[in-house]
Amino acid sequence: MIRFNEVGYQYDQSAKATVRDLSLDLQSGSFYYLCGPSGAGKTTLFKMLYMDLLPTRGDLTLFGKNTKDLTRENIAQMRRRMGVVFQDFRLLKHLSVKENVALPLIFENKSQKAIDASVEEILDWVGLGDKLLSMPDELSGGEKQRVAIARAVINRPEILIADEPTGNVDDTMAARIIHLFSELNKHGTTVLLATHDKGLIENFPNECLFLEDGMLMKGQM
């Protein structure tokens, strides 16, 4: 479902490549941690997966298509099959919590009543049942992060990519979030979760991909 073939990404011609020579097949239905120090290239890799960035070398194949050959419409369609938690959340400022979380459901033929019920259920799960009508600017960092998580999982995506999704929440909430991701994973979602949190990896073991200085190190933590 996701294949990197000698992928590189260089932000700037004069600088060294941020991601280098990355070859990797991600198995459909698996749960991977993406680990590695700050600046290793984790977010850059995720941006390529979300087709925000195209590889500057090599090929990235997603859902059977080379990301180099995509039209805008292809990209939009493929993104609807993915859930994403950005490191900087990317909530829409002018929409309420409830409206942000409902966004992925707009493309599905669901009644407003069904959408409201799903949104309320997931927001309850992440402890934000009382913030439905709040605006993003009125939330704390951890609350914004939980809204981003709710939005990413609400349509049970085929691929879930989450960049440090527990970075701003306490341990109890982090465990709840991982539990939620694991449940989706059991139902077939391929999960990729970037984290620095060793405790998380120890308590909820899954396969770990280790990125260092833009390169994938096999078999390390």
Ligand X SMILES: Nc1ncnc2c1ncn2[C@@H]1O[C@H](COP(=O)(O)OP(=O)(O)OP(=O)(O)O)[C@@H](O)[C@H]1O
CB-nearer residue toward Mg ion: 31 or 46: 46
E strand segments, 63-176: 65-66, 82-85, 159-163
> Which of Mg ion, ligand X, none does residue 205 bind (CB under 5 to 8 Å by kind)?
none
Q: How far is the CB of 44 from ligand X (least distance, A)?
A: 3
Stretch that binds ligand X, among 32-40, 58-66, 142-150, 198-206 (CB under 6 A): 32-40
Q: Which of 27, 44, 3, 149 is nearest to 90 (CA)?
A: 149
Contact letters (x/-) for ligand X, 10-29, by CB under 6 A?
A: -xx-----x-----------
38 near ligand X (CB under 6 A): yes
Closest to Mg ion by CB, 85 or 159: 85
- Residue 12 is classified by DSSP as S
Member of 8, 41, 43, 47 binding Mg ion (CB under 5 A):
43
Please state the φ and ψ torsions of residue 120, each to the nearest 5 degrees.
-65, -40
CB distance 50 to 79 below 8 Å: yes
Task: Compute CA 90 distance to the chain's CA centroid, rounded to the nearest angstrom.
Answer: 12
Q: Which residues of 172-192 are buried (b: 16+ CB within 10 A; e: fewer)?
A: ebbbbbbebbeebbeeebbbb
Phi-psi region of 204 (alpha: psi -120 to 50; beta: other; left: phi over 0): beta
145 sits near Mg ion (criterion: CB under 5 A): no
- Closer residue to Mg ion in complex, CB, 66/87: 87
Q: What gap in Å lies between CA 143 and CA 183, rounded to an integer?
A: 21
**Contacts to Mg ion from residues 99-138, by CB under 5 A:** none
User: Which of Mg ion, ligand X, none interacts with 153 (beta carbon under 5 to 8 A by kind)?
Assistant: none
- The partner in contact with residue 40, picked from Mg ion, ligand X, none with C-beta cut-offs of 5 to 8 angstroms by kind, is ligand X
Which residues of the chain form contacts with ligand X (CB under 6 A)?
11-12, 18, 36, 38-44, 87
